[in-house]
Structure 1
Amino acid sequence: MFNPELMKGTSPGARGGVMSGSGWSNGDVFLAYLKTHFREHVSARGPQQSVLV
């Protein structure tokens, strides 16, 4: 679930505001992070480079 209130006061271009129904992080929140923010920044690496998660 996206909550725009969590993004108030962040730097331009910041991403986030995703939380579970309980407000805690969980597997779904982490997977959303991996599929968006993490993947975007790791894709700049070559296909043969390892990434520690």
Structure 2
Amino acid sequence: MQRIWKNSNNALQGGHKGLVQIIQAEKDFQEALASGAFKLNDPIMLQTMPK
């Protein structure tokens, strides 16, 4: 997949970097949930990172 999309306009404009950040955030949330840092019904505040 990366061979096809790595040179797309979206990827060249930072889209891939954003996707990688989202995937990492999902992993972080899953680990925190598994460790008991929070529960599914707890409110959380998402922070956006500058481009």
TM-score (norm 2): 0.38
Larger radius of gyration: 2
The answer to which structure has the higher helix fraction is 2
Q: TM-score w.r.t. structure 1 length? A: 0.38
